[in-house]
Amino acid sequence: MKKIMFLIPTLGNGGAEKVLVNLVNNMDTTKYEITVMCIFDTGVHKESLHENIGYKFIFRKQFRGSTQIFKLFRPETLYRHFVKDRYDIVISYLEGVPARILGGCHDPNVRKVSWIHCRIDSKAVAELGFRNYAEAERCYSSFDNTVCVSRMTKDYFTETLSFRKPIEVLYNTIESEQIRQLSQEAIEDMEFSDDCFNLCSVGKITEVKGFDRLARIHKRLCEDGIKNKVYIFGVGDEQKKIEDYLRKNHLEKTFRFMGYRVNPYKYVRKADLYVCSSHSEGFSTSVTEALIVGTPVVTTMCSGMQEQLGYHNEYGIVTQNDEDSLYEGIKKILTEKDLLKNYRIKSAQRGKNFEKAITVRAVEDMLERI
């Protein structure tokens, strides 16, 4: 039985954290002894780990300036002090600090994998969590295999770091059967309107998610006479700023922040349209989940979107990554006859391509090869 350790900063409310839990919970524990190690012992997804998955942490609480403090020590020192047990395979499941720590392992009997979720499109982004770009390049090159969550993520990574080591694309693991089941639950805490289009989105309310531009698009649609309401499921620091804009424009009743939901799928399934307004994504978990429950999607161009929705908008609409283009894409799907209805059928078809069993098997095949 192979001993495998996944290292991640926390199991907080994020996409990478969620799909890691999905992955390890569904791997074959007759073949693998699996441990998830967090740098900080925090996060809503911690309780979702199955009891046969080991869990460890380095620090009980997060502390300010941790990344800068870690940089005072060489990767080899961090690995030696933080990773006490011996594993056959160690996996950095996020970029930056986890990759730097595991980059300090030089045991030839330990295989190392780094997992890339975000768009590393410049040296400045590549060196985040490292002392400098040269150290980042050295650490990433020390891994036996690198996994990217989409083709675009892989292209950016290989170009930015002039990467020549083994690298491949593996899609995120989504609890497809569970999501479909949960999406059938009754909604008792709100009602979607029957006299307008109901749009929704799920995610942290941060600048990168672009919910501010979705608020401005909502205003433009209303001014065009296209009756719509927008529901955002998530929490984050940008909420107050966007709420100020909504109040100034008298939109607080039609653009609503609904907070974090353990089961967002029942709301997504009932919505007319799922909108991803992000400036950047690695491979959007929430868009995949929308496809699984059969909700039409309009999204900005980010990593993985064309792999999910087709290179010619076969399964949803992918717009250029700017506010005007996203506005035009949403307006198009809401106003052209039968377009929304047809994309509801297409999205459900596409959702079948991201079945849990397929993605887990691909990861296990990779672990057997390295």
Task: Give the DSSP per-residue string, 251-291.
Answer: -TTTEEE----S--HHHHHHSSEEEE--S--SS-HHHHHHH
Angle at 91 between CA 89 and CA 95, to 5 degrees: 160
pLDDT reported for residue 354: 87
For 65, the token pair is 């300036």
Q: How many CB atoms lie within 10 A of CB 315?
A: 22
Query: Strands, DSSP E only, in the chain?
Result: 2-8, 32-40, 54-59, 89-92, 111-116, 145-148, 167-169, 197-202, 228-233, 255-257, 273-276, 297-300, 317-319
Looking at residue 282, what is its pLDDT?
79
Contacts of 329 (CB under 8 A, 6+ apart): 298, 317, 318, 319
pLDDT computed for residue 353 by the predictor: 87
Q: Are 302 and 321 in contact (CB under 8 A)?
A: yes
Domain span(s) for CATH 3.40.50.2000 in the chain: 2-170, 177-353
pLDDT at 278: 97
pTM: 0.80
According to the model, what pLDDT value does residue 197 have? 98
- Report how far residue 354's alpha carbon sits from residue 351's, in angstroms, rounded to the nearest whole number: 6
Contact 138, 132 (CB under 8 A): no
In 3D, which of 314, 341, 316, 346 has the Cα closest to residue 329? 316
Q: Distance between CA atoms of 181 and 24, rounded to whole angstroms?
A: 20
Q: Could you count the other beta carbons within 10 Å of the beta carbon of residue 177?
A: 12
201-224 core/surface letters (b: 16 or more CB in 10 A; e: else): bbbbbbeebbbbbbbbbbbebbee
CB-based contact 273:340 (threshold 8 Å):
yes
pLDDT at position 125: 96
Regions of the chain with pLDDT less than 70: none
Amino acid at 348: A
**DSSP at 19:** H
Q: What is the pLDDT at residue 183?
A: 97
What's the distance, CA 334 to chain centroid? 26
Topology of the domain covering 2-170: Rossmann fold (3.40.50)
- Cα–Cα distance, 182 to 192 (Å, whole number): 18
Q: Which residue bears the tokens 């649609």?
A: 221
**pLDDT at position 13:** 76
DSSP 3-state of 222: helix
Superfamily of domain 177-353: Glycogen Phosphorylase B; (3.40.50.2000)
SS3 229: strand
Q: Which amino acid is at 368?
A: E
Q: Give just the sign of the alpha carbon dihedral 3, 19, 158, 131.
A: negative
